[in-house]
Amino acid sequence: MEVQWVGMETLRQGAPNVAVTLVFTLLLGVWSAQALEMSVGKIPFLEAVNGSTVMLPCTYASCIGIKNLYFNWQFNDNGTMVKVCESVIATETVTPDVSIYRERVDFIGKNRENNISILLWNITFEDGGLYTCFGRNPKEKDKNHSAIFHLIVVDELRVVDNTLTIIIASAVGGAIAFLMGFMLLKNFTLFVLAKLEEKNKECLVTSSGIDNTENGLSGSKADSKPTPKKK
């Protein structure tokens, strides 16, 4: 009994710690859900031809909103982070005044739908590399986040070999056509068999009526002999 009492006492003493841990975990989960997030889209890279114009996408999101959100774009120039542009967004409805530090760069986000994308004009091979979209939200106690976009500059776009895709599509199409043909043939065969069975039934009924007539059964047209009269 003494051992059991000590165990219960230990549990009672540890209960506050468990409660504190649980509350801290819940608060951490809520805080993580509210944290600032920067995104460059589902496909974080782009292959573009030398001399073309490209857009580097980036959007931000925060469950509790923003206030004086600081953001910038940076370019990784052989290991050295070079600032491309930066600005502060007071609120979601305000268009930021963006400072540009690199040639042939335009800010096109305008903060519409939390968009802070930029445009690169007449790109060169030197423009290829990693671009980082960074954000810091004072409303979330300077919570910050970043996303990386990879720009690949080439002489010409590669021709995608669709041979495998065509083979797969042809095989699938052939299988579907075969299945449809099989179903049509099956339905036609069942239709013909049903007609043959119906015809056989008619023949059996007709044959049965003829047999009954020849055997003088009920319903036949055979002449009956008159009953002889007594003298």
Domain ranges of the chain: 35-154, 160-206
Measure the CA–CA gap between 119 and 109, rounded to whole angstroms.
9
Q: Which two structure tokens, joined as six digits, stand for 118?
A: 């930029």
| Predicted pLDDT of residue 177 | 83
| Predicted pLDDT of residue 27 | 44
Q: Which two structure tokens, joined as six digits, stand for 73?
A: 């774009």
Measure the CA–CA gap between 58 and 109, rounded to whole angstroms.
8
| Predicted pLDDT of residue 26 | 43
Torsion from C-alpha of 11, 17, 18, 19, nearest 10 degrees: 120
Give which of 37, 25, 90 is closest to 63, Cα–Cα.
Answer: 37
| Predicted pLDDT of residue 34 | 56
The answer to pTM > 0.85 is no
| Predicted pLDDT of residue 212 | 55
Does the domain made of 35-154 have the CATH classification 2.40.50.140? no
| Predicted pLDDT of residue 4 | 46
Give which of 87, 117, 119 is closest to 103, Cα–Cα.
Answer: 119
Answer whether 88's CB lies under 8 Å from 159's CB: no
pLDDT along the chain (231 residues), means of 10: 46 50 44 76 96 97 95 96 97 94 96 94 97 97 96 86 74 83 84 79 64 53 55 52
| Predicted pLDDT of residue 31 | 42
